[in-house]
Amino acid sequence: MPSPLTMSALRTYAGEQGDERIARRRQQLLDAALETLGSTDGGSLSVRGVCREAKLTARYFYESFSSADELVAATYDRVIDEIMASASEAFGQRTSITERVRGAVAAIVAVIDGDRRKGRLLFSPTLVSSTLAQRRLAATQNLAALTAQSAAGSHNTASAADVAAGYYRVGGLANLLAAWLDHRVEMSRDELIDACTALLLGE
């Protein structure tokens, strides 16, 4: 039987179901975490700080997350999933490898330029934590594998050299995007997309 607290949380108030309220508060926390981590002066995230940003009490934080690290991971995963979905869709709409890569890069740049907090969360070298490091490593492995397989072709198995080149190119891509977001590299969006495409294609 559900506990009184659970039953209270799931009641309908002002026409909003309990599970809808929980989802809304979770979204508030994710948005607050992105603001905290991805702003130009972003830094570490604490339960108290993110609750203050979200205008929620700690009780509602623990309704959705067990720790600040879990919220950081969920925030990163939400952004990387958006990036990967956009890039994969764009990649699949083209025919030649150059068009595919350029389309995927353009999709990535569109997301991080549309909301630069997302780019800083993914790429900024000044934003570090063990949770982000683990998430970035996993994302790098996936992107390097995709890059290596693209280089090898759909009918061939990526070689060790292809995988090594994949890591090299993805690392360079991340560094270039971070530098562009921080204005250490001054380029237009199209110039950036051209540079990233050439980098990934080894041109």
Q: What is the tens place of the pLDDT at every residue in 18-55? A: 788 999 999 999 999 999 999 877 778 999 999 999 99
**More confident call, 203 vs 19:** 19
77 with 49, same domain?
no
Domain that holds residue 125: 70-201
75 with 166, same domain?
yes
118 with 176, same domain?
yes
Which pLDDT band, with edges at 50, 70 and 90, does 5 fall under?
very low
Predicted pLDDT of residue 41:
75
113 with 27, same domain?
no
Amino acid at 37: L
Q: Distance of CA 99 to CAs 64, 106, 184, Å?
A: 41, 10, 27
Q: Which residues contact 67 (CB under 8 A, 6 or more apart)?
A: 47
Which stretch of 155-159, 170-174, 188-192 has the lowest confidence by average pLDDT? 155-159
Tell me what the pLDDT averaged over the chain comes to. Answer: 87
83 with 8, same domain?
no
d(CA 49, CA 93): 42
Q: Is the pLDDT of residue 7 over 60?
A: no
What CATH number is given to the structural domain containing 174?
Answer: 1.10.357.10
14 with 47, same domain?
yes
Q: Indicate the number of domains in the chain.
A: 2
92 with 54, same domain?
no
Q: Is the pLDDT of residue 6 over 60?
A: no
Residue finishing a domain among 13, 38, 65? 65
Q: What is the pLDDT of residues 103-151, one digit of tens each?
A: 999 999 999 999 999 999 999 888 888 999 999 999 998 888 877 877 6
What CATH number is given to the structural domain containing 10?
Answer: 1.10.10
**More confident call, 13 vs 25:** 25
